[in-house]
Amino acid sequence: MTLDTAFFETWRPRALAVLRIVTAYLFITHGTAKLFGIPHQAMFDGLKLMSLPGVAGILEVVGGALMLIGLFTRPVAFVMCGFMAVAYFMAHGSQGNVLVPMLNKGELAVLYCFVFLYFSAAGAGAWSVDAMRRR
């Protein structure tokens, strides 16, 4: 039995788009929790906009929204990759066990970092403003 490579080539950009959309949606919710209290997270009550978590929330909402629609995907993803690397080392790696994200609760930051690195190389896929602009 052989795999039909045409099937996979047809669906690859669509699967990439689904990954981008879901990742962006999840990323945006981190920012909306910080900036707007939706979903409510008690640790963000009284958050100042011009604090480190406030600026992180702005990056999460704006960068996530651009990723969601697939606009300027490669440069935005590259910035978000760096942002997540800094977030990991500042918030999680500084707690010790820098090489073991499971112990410092930094798994999500590492995963976002590498997913965004992938998007910076692979682009937005189908169903994106970037794809429409190329036509």
**pLDDT at 134 exceeding the cut of 90:** no
Rounded Cα–Cα distance for residues 119 and 64 (Å):
12
Indicate whether 16 belongs to any domain. Answer: yes
Q: How many domains does the chain have?
A: 1
- What would the pLDDT profile of 99-114 be if each residue is shown by its tens digit? 899 999 999 999 999 9
Amino acid at 120: S
Residues of the chain with pLDDT > 90, as a percent, come to: 86
What domain range includes position 80? Answer: 5-127
- Cα three-residue angle 45-48-36, rounded to 5 degrees: 55
Q: Which helix (H) or strand (E) holds 112?
A: helix 107-122
Report if residue 135 sits inside a domain.
no
H-helix or E-strand spanning residue 18: helix 5-35
**Rounded-to-integer distance, Cα 66 and Cα 129, Å:** 9
pTM for this entry: 0.93
Q: Taking the mean position of all CA atoms in its chain, how far away is CA 40?
A: 20
Question: Does the residue 120 lie in any domain?
Answer: yes
* pLDDT tens string 51-83: 999 999 999 999 999 999 999 999 999 999 999
